[in-house]
A and B are shown apart, each in its own frame.
Chain A
Amino acid sequence: MKIIKTYVTVLISTLLVFSPVAYADKWSDQFPHIKATGDIPGECSYESMSKKDYSGKTLKINTHAVPVMGEPTALHAEQFAKLTGAKVDVTHTPAGDLYAKAMVPFQAGQAPYDIVFGFSNFINDWKRYLEPVPKKYTEMRQMKDVTKSHIGVASWDGVMYQFPVDGDRHYLKYRKDVIDNPKYQKKYKADTGKELRVPRTWKEYGEIASYFNGWDWDGDGEPEYGSAEVMKKDDLMYAAFFSRSVAYSKNPRTPGGFFFDLDTMKPLINNPGFVEALTDWVEATKYVPPGGINFGLGDEIGSFGGGQTLFSFSWDDALIAAMQDDSPIKNKVAAAPLPGADRVWNRMTNRWENQYNQAPYIVWGWAVGVAKKSKVKEMAFDYLCFFANDANHQADLAIGRFGVNPFKKSDFDPNIYIDTMGWDPEIAKSYTDTLLEMEEKSKNRVFPLRVPGVFEFTSAVATGTSKALAGQLSPQEALDEVAKEWEAILNRVGKDNVKAAYAVGVAMEDNKL
């Protein structure tokens, strides 16, 4: 009964959103942000929130810099304040500092913020300071619409600590106008004897990227390049590396851990699968734009979004940037799942299996939680719920710079992007199909590492791979060094601590949770 009801509401609301007649109601008059849909009924709709009275109370939020996440946070804060009478203070912090900004006061026993934004892999360190999302919210209709993957990302061992407001994953972005261009397809075939198509493997990715590297293939008078990737040694670099590693190392036939062998907690980071991926990556330094080895996420987004490269793979932002209205390459790009590999390492048999393998990497993304020590928890959750209500979420999705990406099942409808954002139907479909495939269908997913000391582990990966990219070490040496460092971290942190935490992630990867 409940399921049907939910389904109906979703259906109705979806219909309402996309009905060509602009839906006007008293809320959209007051809040132009949602003029495309008007208020959509729900637990945390404008209507419901307007009935709450939080006047005299203050809600303090630390969020990311404007505009990505920061702007919607501030916008919804303003709306929320208007509706409920609360005072909402919003602070903006650069991505790299979000962790420390919340962690310093947390560790000092303080909660200067009621709501803290961060990334989903902070969960292990943060969860002891965060209030679990109350049942009232986890069981509401709005939450039922969230994909399984994102419920998993927001939860720890079945308990939800982070309120889903955004979705994130790595996937492949490519220049449709090149890959689908018959002229280039013919030329490529003639030159290399191979088909020009959306790469299915990382090797193919490399070949195509190299071919299209360093010459002007879009006729703008400037040379273009093969691929834009996050190679700068900072917190995001390791995510790019794992995206390249999953194809070689996430073997659906060897459950029980991707980063470690869950039984022995032996690091797997230096097994041939990872080494192969790093070898590919070192090769990739040859087909990135000049200075590409020092690209951070911002550079990657700018580079691909500005039409400088053929490929890119990471979060949604680069695609969204390319699809902005003022972009010269609007509707010339498309999305596809991350490339796979023609062989995959089997760590049980210590052999390569010559079999096509592909694995989505459900990389961490924006996450937000409510501090345990907050004195206004109810208001805080109401705010988050309001942030992500259907009307706000859909309006946010349509504004590229907000960085709010799909995480609800109802988001995977190509029409949203076609109607409100003017995407080419084919591209919109490639986008939603790719997402849906990863989020809901794949059984070979990898979740981000979320164990105690996660930053020490990932920082070691960044340092090691970065040395390999810079040519200071060979891929094998670099990863051996990382493995050694991981062992040291394990000993410091305590194998059992890490194991217990890692088991939670492995259970999700092995589709047990």
Chain B
Amino acid sequence: MFVVAPFLWALSTSFKDFQSVNSKVTYIPWVDYEPSLEGWKVLIKSPAKGGVDIVEPYFNSIFVTCTASVISIVLGTLAAYALSRFTFKAGFVRNNDITFFFISQRIMPPIVLSIPFFIFLSTIGLLDSLIGLVVVYIVLLMPIAVWIMVDFFNRVPKELDETALIDGCNPYQAFYKVVLPNSIPGLIVAGMFCIIFGWIDFFFAFILTFTEVQLLPVKVVALNSSVTPWWSLSASALVSVAPLIIVAFIVERYLSKGNLSGALK
């Protein structure tokens, strides 16, 4: 109940109007209040008619999230593989320190990175562009990918890669012919985390875009004006979570198969 209660509330609210929200507490449409579709209609109307038009931002969000996730996963997986399998030494720096360096990128409060990122992106001319956001999101997402994949690779016996090497694969072949196919569950979990964290980011999307590119959360949050239209806000919250529920089902499928990380041994 605790999990779904807010969603039910949001669903109910999305069919309300000003009076149904503000005069007293109401729950069930028709019984407690007259349902209105206004909240949902707003989502596809143009702003000039009082709508928010989330269609384009929706696709922008999908593009940015997926691109950044894919790049982060590719780079992060490679790095994680290296950190899991090989020994690095440079001065006092060891594998764990490098791993921590990756993860520590998430410690920095985003607020303060906003101005530097802004200047950085404007210098390279990527402000207010999808590519610019992808670049920034890579920083947000790669640490997650590295962290999950290091953990995952640590649980894949290294004898597996060794066998591949002995069987005549060079390290790259061993990686993509043997290690990768056996890491799909890990990749899926890492991918899901990347997608989620990319999808729900508000702050960077907010600071680094202007007119050309708008992402979904920014667009939805922009609904939260002084007179908040709770109904459309609720509707958009529901709409924005929808694609991720599909992701959740994919992940669950892999979980159910039970081969998430126990693929080996």
Direct contact of A and B (CB under 8 A): yes
Q: Contact check: which of B115, B211, B223 meets A60 at CB < 8 Å?
A: B211
Asked if A254 lies at the interface with its beta carbon under 8 angstroms from chain B, I say no
CB-CB nearest in chain A for B221: A94
Stretch at the interface among B47-55, B154-162, B172-180, B256-264: B47-55
Asked whether B206 lies within 8 Å of A97 as measured between CB atoms, the reply is yes
Q: Does B245 contact A (CB under 8 A)?
A: no
Contacts of A401 in B (CB 8 A): 50, 227
8 A Cβ contacts from A76-110 to B: 77-78, 89-95, 97, 100-101, 104-105, 107-108, 110
Report if A65-B225 is in contact (Cβ < 8 Å); known contacts: A70-B47, A71-B47, A71-B50. Answer: yes
Residues of chain A with a CB closer than 8 A to B17's CB = 326
Of the candidate stretches A15-23, A298-306, A343-351, the one touching chain B is A298-306
Known contacts A94-B221, A101-B206; is-contact A328 B52 (Cβ 8 Å): no
Given A91-B214, A112-B127, A220-B24: A67 in contact with B225 (beta carbons within 8 A): yes
Q: Contact at B52–A92, with CB atoms within 8 Å?
A: yes
CB of A327 closer than 8 Å to a CB of B: yes
Can you list 21 A-B pairs with a CB-CB distance of less than 8 A? A62-B210, A64-B226, A65-B223, A66-B47, A66-B51, A66-B222, A67-B225, A67-B227, A73-B47, A75-B49, A89-B211, A90-B211, A94-B224, A107-B115, A112-B128, A302-B22, A306-B18, A307-B23, A326-B19, A401-B50, A401-B227
* Most chain A CB within a 10 A radius of its CB, from B119, B221, B225: B225
> What is B's interface to A at a CB cutoff of 8 Å?
17-19, 21-24, 42, 46-52, 114-115, 118-119, 122, 127-128, 206-207, 210-212, 214, 219, 221-229
Q: Is the CB of B128 within 8 A of A108?
A: no
Given A67-B50, A298-B226, A317-B226, 10 additional A-B pairs, CB 8 A: A60-B211, A65-B224, A68-B227, A74-B47, A92-B52, A92-B219, A94-B224, A108-B119, A298-B225, A403-B227
Please, how many angstroms separate the alpha-carbon atoms of A65 and B224 in the complex?
A: 7
User: Is A157 interfacial (CB 8 A cutoff)?
Assistant: no
- Expressed in whole angstroms, the Cα–Cα distance for A376 and B222 within the complex equals 26
A222 touches B24 (CB 8 A): yes
Chain B proximity mask over A285-298: 1 for CB below 8 Å, otherwise 0: 00000000000011
Cα separation A71 to B219 with both chains bound (whole Å): 14
Name A186-237 residues within 8 Å CB distance of B: 220-222
Q: Are A95 and B226 in contact (CB under 8 A)?
A: yes
Instruction: Check if B211 sits within 8 Å of A302, measured CB to CB.
Output: no
Q: Does A113 contact B (CB under 8 A)?
A: yes
Most buried by A among B49, B119, B226: B226
Shortest Cβ distance from residue B213 to the other chain A in the assembled complex, whole angstroms: 10
Q: In the complex, what's the smallest C-beta–C-beta distance from A93 to chain B, in angstroms? A: 6
Question: What is the CB-to-nearest-CB distance from A206 to chain B, in angstroms, rounded to a whole number?
Answer: 24
State whether A113 and B227 are in contact (beta carbons under 8 Å apart), knowing that A302-B22, A321-B18 are contacts in the complex.
Answer: no
Please measure, in the bound complex, the distance between the C-alpha atom of A74 and the C-alpha atom of B225, giving whole angstroms.
Answer: 15
B19 partner, pick from A297, A306, A403, beta carbons under 8 A: A306
Q: Residue B18 contacts which of A65, A66, A78, A305 (CB distance < 8 angstroms)?
A: A305
**Of B22, B122, B128, B225, which one neighbours A68 at CB under 8 angstroms?**
B225
Chain A contact surface mostly: mixed
Which residues on the B side are within 8 Å of A62 (C-beta)?
210-211
If the complex has contacts A305-B22, A328-B23, are A90 and B47 also in contact, measured as CB distance less than 8 A? yes
Q: Given the known A-B contacts A66-B47, A104-B114, A110-B122, are A93 and B222 also in contact in the complex, defined by CB atoms under 8 Å?
A: yes
Contact present for B211 and A91 (CB under 8 Å)? yes
In the bound complex, do residue A75 and residue B48 qualify as a contact, i.e. CB atoms below 8 Å apart? Answer: yes
Pair B222/A60 contact, Cβ less than 8 Å:
no
0/1 interface trace, chain A 123-167, chain B, CB 8 Å (1 if under): 000000000000000000000000000000000000000000000
Q: Is A324 in contact with chain B by the CB < 8 A criterion? A: yes
> What's the count of A-B pairs with C-beta under 8 Å?
132
Contact pick for A65, options B49, B210, B212, B222, CB 8 Å: B222
Distance in angstroms from B31 CB to nearest chain A CB is 15
Q: Is A308 an interface residue (CB 8 A)?
A: yes
A220→B22 CA distance, assembly (Å) = 13
Closest to B210 in A: A112
Q: How far is the CB of A129 from chain B (nearest CB, A)?
A: 15
User: Residues of A within 8 Å of B, CB-based: how many?
Assistant: 52
User: Once bound together, how far apart are the Cα atoms of A89 and B209, in whole Å?
Assistant: 13
Q: Chain A interface (Cβ within 8 Å of chain B)?
A: 60-62, 64-68, 70-71, 73-75, 77-78, 89-95, 97, 100-101, 104-105, 107-108, 110, 112-113, 220-222, 297-298, 301-303, 305-308, 317, 321, 324, 326-328, 401, 403
Question: Is there an interface contact between B222 and A306, defined as CB atoms closer than 8 Å?
Answer: no
* With contact pairs A112-B127, A306-B18 given, residues A70 and B211 touching in the complex (Cβ less than 8 Å): no
CB distance from B111 to the nearest CB of A (A): 10
Q: Which 4 A-B pairs have the closest CB atoms?
A: A306-B22, A65-B225, A74-B47, A89-B211
CB of B228, distance to nearest CB on chain A (Å): 5
Q: Quick one: closest A residue to B117, CB to CB?
A: A104
Which residue of the partner chain B has the closest CB to A96? B224
Query: Contacts A93-B222, A94-B222, A108-B122 given: A220-B214 contact, CB under 8 Å?
Result: no
Nearest CB on B from A410, distance (A): 26
| Interface pair A66/B227, CB less than 8 Å apart | no
**B227 lies within 8 A of A74 (CB):** no
What A residues does B212 contact at CB under 8 A?
89
Complex: how many Å from CA A297 to CA B128?
Answer: 31
- Shortest C-beta distance, B25 to chain A (Å), equals 9
* A59–chain B nearest beta-carbon distance, Å: 10
Contact residue among B21, B22, B24, B48 (Cβ-Cβ distance under 8 Å from A71): B48
Task: Provide the residues of chain B in CB contact with A74, threshold 8 Å.
Answer: 46-48
Residues in B neighbouring A100, C-beta threshold 8 A: 207
Are A321 and B119 closer than 8 Å at their CB atoms? no
Q: A78 to B48, Cβ gap below 8 A?
A: yes
CB neighbours (8 Å) of A321 from chain B are: 18, 227
Residues in chain B near residue A67, CB distance under 8 A: 50, 225, 227, 229
- Say whether A317 contacts B227, CB under 8 Å: yes
CB distance from B243 to the nearest CB of A (A): 22
**Cα–Cα distance between A220 and B25 once the two chains are bound (Å):** 12
B130 CB, nearest partner CB in chain A, Å: 15
Shortest Cβ distance from B175 into chain A, in angstroms?
Answer: 42
Contacts of B22 in A (CB 8 A): 302-303, 305-308
Tell me how far the C-beta of A75 lies from the nearest C-beta in chain B, rounded to whole angstroms: 4
State the CA gap A508–B51 with chains docked (Å): 40
Alpha-carbon separation in the docked complex, A104 to B111 (Å): 11
Chain B residues with CB under 8 Å of A91's CB are 210-211, 214
Known: A68-B225, A95-B226. A104 touches B48 (CB 8 A): no
User: Which residue on B lies nearest to A324, using beta carbons?
Assistant: B18
Interchain nearest-CB distance for B117 vs A (Å): 10
Check if A66 sits within 8 Å of B223, measured CB to CB: yes
Evaluate contact between B211 and A327: CB separation under 8 angstroms. no
How many angstroms between the C-alpha atoms of A301 and B228 in the bound complex?
A: 10
Contact A327 B19 (CB under 8 A): yes
**Cβ–Cβ < 8 Å partners of B50 in chain A:** 66-67, 71, 401
Least Cβ–Cβ distance between A239 and chain B, in angstroms? 12
**Closest residue on chain A to residue B121 by CB atoms:** A108
